[in-house]
Amino acid sequence: MFFERVFEFLDELKTKEYDSVLIVAHSGVSKAFNAYFDGIKDGNFLNRGLKNCEIKEYKLQKRKSRSDI
């Protein structure tokens, strides 16, 4: 599923050592990002995308990669 791929990407991004990341994406990805950060898992996220040209900043909590555990 599309949203699962976005969630997996964000989970993987938590394991990286980047200071910041710029992601430019279409509305579907912004809806998935909002669902991820708002903890929405029941599918009620289709009306939660960004407005045209809107900028949103998210903060990810770093976590160790599986190979470090």
Q: What is the pLDDT along the chain (69 residues), one digit of tens a residue?
A: 788 899 999 999 999 988 899 999 888 888 888 888 888 876 666 776 778 888 889 988 876 555 544
Task: Say if 35 falls within a structural domain.
Answer: yes
pTM of the predicted model as reported, rounded to 2 decimal places: 0.74
Task: Say if 66 falls within a structural domain.
Answer: no
- Taking phi over 0 as left and psi of -120 to 50 as alpha, with beta for the rest, 26 belongs to beta
Predicted pLDDT of residue 8:
94
* Total number of domains in the chain: 1
- Show Cβ contacts of residue 63 under 8 Å, excluding neighbours closer than 6 positions: 14, 15
Distances (CA, A) of 36 to 25, 60, 61: 15, 11, 13
Q: From the CA atom positions of the chain, what is the Rg in Å?
A: 13
Task: Say if 43 falls within a structural domain.
Answer: yes
Task: Say if 69 falls within a structural domain.
Answer: no
Alpha-carbon gap, residue 27 to 18, rounded angstroms: 24
